[in-house]
Structures are given as structure tokens and as C-alpha cells.
Amino acid sequence: MQGVDENPNFLVITGFGKDSRNNLWVLNFGAVDRKNLSLMTPEGDWKHFDIPAESNLYIESHYNLAIDLYDTKWYSCSTTKIGLFYFNENKTYDDPSDDRSDFLTTSDGLNTNDIRDVGVDKRGDVWVATSLGVNTITNTSGISTSGSSGLDIRSVFTLRQQAVNTIAVDPLNQKWIGTNEGLLLVNSDGSRLLKTFTAQNSALLSNQIRSIAIDQNKGIVYVGTDEGLTSFETPYIKPVDTFEELFVYPNPFRLGSEGNLLTIDGLVQDTNIKILSISGELIAEFSSPGGRTAYWDGKDGNGDLVSTGVYLIVAYQSESNDVITGKVAVLRE
């Protein structure tokens, strides 16, 4: 890799990402040879790419590399050509004839060309954080063949006019949004604001959110601010691949305390759950939020607290034959 124009030995790397074939892609801040994207194969071989949309210009300030489910590389630029680039080499590293790339700006539907972050969610949609809110880009599957003509670029209404600095996606496909006025949690498509965290109502050290990282296996959200780092423990945990064992706690489960919940841990994605009496009567039925854990409030289908006794928990995945069971002792105070 080559460094900046003033000194090719001064190399600044601004992003990493892996594609579906486990290639490591590297984004260069500014390459004097115009090859701002490079990859290292799992075998350790390197390839370097000219991006057609960069028109063989020397461009600096490449940031925010993200790779979608179709191996398209997305990144922003803040000088010379200010906006959003994408590139897909079509899995042919030495044949540029089938490469696809383009440069997107406000004329294509972006809120502004001032891009702060780029992320890809669980459905493959691209989320673009800007100084004037968030854009989503869908229908990206055809880029490798048809280019940007079929892209659907929309603005997220709930985040309009927000100065958004960073975006992270949790295991339930919810979006954590870092702004200059605090931390926002929105649902999977951004249509509902679920929670707002500020320095006044939470452990945040500042409302100036600079970065967010999520430990998918533990449900911990790390939030970087201009005053330091804060972590939040959440119930949004990556589901297991297959059922192995249900962890049900607390057990016994004491009813009577306001807000007391039974945790059911060890679930696959989109698990359905039934609570049965020991004689097999259906007491309650619900679905997990989508992650590894679900919660029962100790109430039956009519909203009444259940009686003291032993209850069976049956968890199953509707699209497969996977079923797992557990037991809990309920004490009604």
C-alpha cells in the first residue's frame, strides 16, 4: 500500500472489514497510487484496487468502511469528492472490467454530503449517519450487475435533522444512534424511538457521542464520549445457533414484587415459548424478542399472576423441529 501524496511512506489506515469469503479489506486515508482499497486473502496474498468512481483522482480523507451482505464496500469521503462511495469487484480480483462503483450525494437522495458513519444491519440495509439525520439504502443486491439504478435511498423520519455521529446494530437489529445530544435507541427500521439516554438520566459522561461498539455475545453496549467511556448492560444478546440447554432464573421464581421477571436464556433466533402447567394446560404463550433471552412476568393469558406450583417451559423454533424444555418453581407471595 502507498501512503499520502506528500510522503508515500506515511500510510494512514482508516477502516477494516471482512467479506463473505473472509478476505480482510483495508481502507486507505489517501493513496498516492490511487489504490485506496486493498484486500488481504486468508492465505496472506494482497490485492489493490482502483475505484472507477474516483476517476483516477488523488483523493484523501476516506473513512467509515462498511461491507454489506453482498460484499459491496461502502465508505465516505470528506475532501475533493464529498459524499458516499461504493465498490464491488464482483469476486474477480484481477479483472476490472466487471467492477461496479459509484459516488452518491444529495442529488441521489442523501440528506447531506457530510457523512459521519456507515453501517450495515442484519437485513443487509446500509445505514448512513450524517449531520442532518440518517439515510437507509436498500435494494443493494443488484449492485454487482446493474449498479446504483435500483437503489432505494430514504431518510429515517424519527432521526430527521439530528446531527448523528455514529451508528451500531445490536443482535435484535435495533439501532443505537450517537448524536450531539445523547444516545438514542430505535427499532429495527427506525420508525420508533425506543429509549433516549443522556448525561442527565443515565451513566453517560457526556451527551457528545463519538463512537459505539457492541459486544454481541454479552449484550454490552460501549459508548465513547468526549469525556470518556460508558458501558450499558442490555438484554439484547446474540442468539445461539442451536438449542443446547435452557437456563431459567431465578428459580424458584417469587411473584409479588413489582416488575419481577423470569429470565429464559439459551434461545435460538425468533423462538416461540409456551408456559404449561404440570398437567399440560397452556398458561401463557409469547415469542422471544429475537435474541438469546426472553422474559416472563409470571402472568397467564388473561394478565393474572399464576398460582404457586411447578411450570414447564417449552421453547421451539417455528421454522425447524428444534424443541427444548425446562422447569421453574413459582412461589406466589
Report whether pLDDT(146) > 70.
no
Q: What is the predicted pLDDT for the residue at 147?
A: 61
Tell me, what's the pLDDT at 104? 96
Confidence band for 237, pLDDT divided at 50, 70 and 90:
very high
Do 12 and 29 contact (CB within 8 A), yes or no? yes
Residue 51: burial class (beta carbons within 10 Å; 0-12, 13-18, 19+) = buried
Residue 256 has pLDDT above 80, yes or no: no
- Which residues touch 130 (CB under 8 Å, ≥6 apart)? 110, 111, 112, 114, 115, 116, 164
> What are the cell numbers at 54?
474516483
Whether 209 has a pLDDT exceeding 80, the answer reads yes
Amino acid at 324: I
Q: What percent of the chain has pLDDT over 90?
A: 87
Q: Which helix (H) or strand (E) holds 144?
A: helix 143-146
Largest Cα span, the chain: 78
Given a cut of 80, whether residue 62 has pLDDT beyond it is: yes
Is 202 a residue whose pLDDT tops 90?
Answer: yes
DSSP lists the bridge partners of residue 45 as none
Residue labelled with grid coordinates 474516483: 54
Report the pLDDT value the prediction gives residue 287, as an integer from 0 to 100: 87
Q: What is the mean pLDDT of residues 79-108?
A: 94
**Domains in the chain, ordered, with CATH?**
13-233 (2.130.10.10), 247-332 (2.60.40.1930)
pLDDT tops 90 at residue 86: yes
| pLDDT for the residue numbered 322 | 86
Query: For the chain, what is the mean pLDDT?
Result: 93
pLDDT at 149: 61
DSSP per residue over 158-177, as a string?
GGTT--EEEEEE-TTS-EEE
